[in-house]
Structure 1
């Protein structure tokens, strides 16, 4: 039996004669290497917490997907602001009556920029846009109303002041953007409707550009990352152990012996066929 112990030859024969087993071995080996690479990456980088499904980056990213369009029959800005305030107060009161939770009002400095306008004559600075969305449109709830006001000031640079009014239990409890400073400027205000597609009848539409802010993402703690890395390494070692056992089993002489048995049966069957 020891004379047939030829590991490389036996392994080569096993690979050539057992494609399913070889494929299974390669899949396990690839998975083990992938987990090792993932553990190394997790150990050298800060990762977001996958258990946090609601954060401000997600809310702002959802808001940036909408086109904000002024109605064709919208009043001018000098008489528009009181009407907007009355409309917002009415919707907020209705929303509060429907929901037992209290309404939270936030005035935040967010990384949103006004990038385009369908009307070239309209300025993109010193402008205030008001709208109302469903919580489901911002991926934070169901059919509750969320009142939004976006202020684009000329001295703000690349950020926007966002005023959001929504039930407290809908707003993300993760890291919040900083408070936006109050402005004494007299700016033009418009009530806009948000839509996923650009309307053809609206004379003026705006779109938003959002840049992901890493400070608003909840990251894993060092302890949580260490536990995740340890689990990945443990699982990788188990997979490599299985791969090693498969290699040892494939190197055993029974693979070569089985091939010789099949060759002998084939040679015995040849005279029967000729006769």
Structure 2
């Protein structure tokens, strides 16, 4: 019995004779390469913070799932006439007010408003409603007051006035809404996530994703993430190298053919 160590031949034999081991090796190698590519991308690009579960894009997207409808058998002109004539007082020097429990913000957000009524006007219109925090995926059962005010000459942005507990609102704020010279009384509407009837005027909200409203990882956080990815990649590549060496060091044994100790070449076929 003779043994020869031939690395390339042994590796070739191992690959052909051990498909599960080869599959496991390829999975580890692919995962290591993926982590290296991900670390390279994270180092050179800004990456959203995965620990931030809510931002203004998510909040506006949740708000866009609802219809803001007038009450049944009530027209917009009736509600406007019933609205208080005294304009809403706004502090022009400070655009947001804070109390120990509730924060009120007036922000310019990428939110477009459309209506299903031909008679409904989108000019000089302010819609007010109250929602539950869970409806906006903010967590909790607190009440969130929302007022959507249409900006003159702007079809893609609106002024959003939102009042809610400070801990519910995302930290990265959109720009403040410009001060309006017109005092528009808000129209009270109901929130609905169902299709409205033909006779019921409703307003739909359409949010647009704004990358500037997404919380990104800081440079320090990206550096830590890249280092961890590279450490894991090096460990996986080390395991791949060990598997390759083990496959190359597997000896191929060359044995003479024998059949239960009998030499067929020396066995006479016919007894003499």
Equivalent positions of 1:85-124 (< 5 A) are 102-114=101-113, 116-124=114-122
Aligned to 1:176: 173
Aligned to 1:52: 52
- 1:70/1:202 contact within 8 Å kept: no
3-state SS, counterpart of residue 173 of structure 2: coil
Alpha-carbon distance in structure 2 between the residues aligned to 1:145 and 1:80: 24
Pick closer, same or farther for the CA change 1:183–1:16 going to 2, 3 Å: same
Among 237, 246, 250, the residue aligned to 1:240? 237
Q: How many residues align?
A: 250
3-state SS, counterpart of residue 161 of structure 2: strand
Cα RMSD of the aligned pairs, angstroms, is: 3.0
Aligned to 1:197: 194
Aligned to 1:9: 9
- 2:147/2:186 contact within 8 Å kept: no
Aligned to 1:134: 132
Aligned to 1:28: 28
Pick closer, same or farther for the CA change 1:129–1:268 going to 2, 3 Å: farther
**Cα deviations across residues 70-110 of structure 1 (Å, max 9, x unaligned)?**
22233513333239x9xxxxxxxxxxxxxx96222111111
Aligned to 1:97: none
* Bigger shift: residues 2-11 or 64-73: 2-11
* Bigger shift: residues 73-82 or 153-162: 73-82
- Alpha-carbon deviation of 1:185? 2.5
Alpha-carbon distance in structure 1 between the residues aligned to 2:261 and 2:224: 61
Is 1:213 aligned with 2:215? no
Pick closer, same or farther for the CA change 1:240–1:81 going to 2, 3 Å: same
Equivalent positions of 1:125-164 (< 5 A) are 125-164=123-162
Q: TM-score, normalised by structure 2?
A: 0.81
Among 68, 73, 79, the residue aligned to 2:81? 79
Q: Which runs of 5+ in 1 are unaligned?
A: 86-99
3-state SS, counterpart of residue 74 of structure 2: coil
- Alpha-carbon deviation of 1:125? 2.9
- Alpha-carbon deviation of 1:144? 1.2
- Alpha-carbon deviation of 1:195? 2.3
3-state SS, counterpart of residue 82 of structure 1: coil
- 1:69/1:194 contact within 8 Å kept: yes
Alpha-carbon distance in structure 1 between the residues aligned to 2:46 and 2:61: 21
Q: TM-score, normalised by structure 1?
A: 0.81
Pick closer, same or farther for the CA change 1:170–1:164 going to 2, 3 Å: same
Alpha-carbon distance in structure 2 between the residues aligned to 1:80 and 1:167: 30
Aligned to 2:224: 227
- 2:84/2:185 contact within 8 Å kept: no
Alpha-carbon distance in structure 1 between the residues aligned to 2:227 and 2:261: 57
**Which structure's CA Rg is the greater one?**
2
Alpha-carbon distance in structure 1 between the residues aligned to 2:250 and 2:214: 57
- 1:72/1:201 contact within 8 Å kept: no
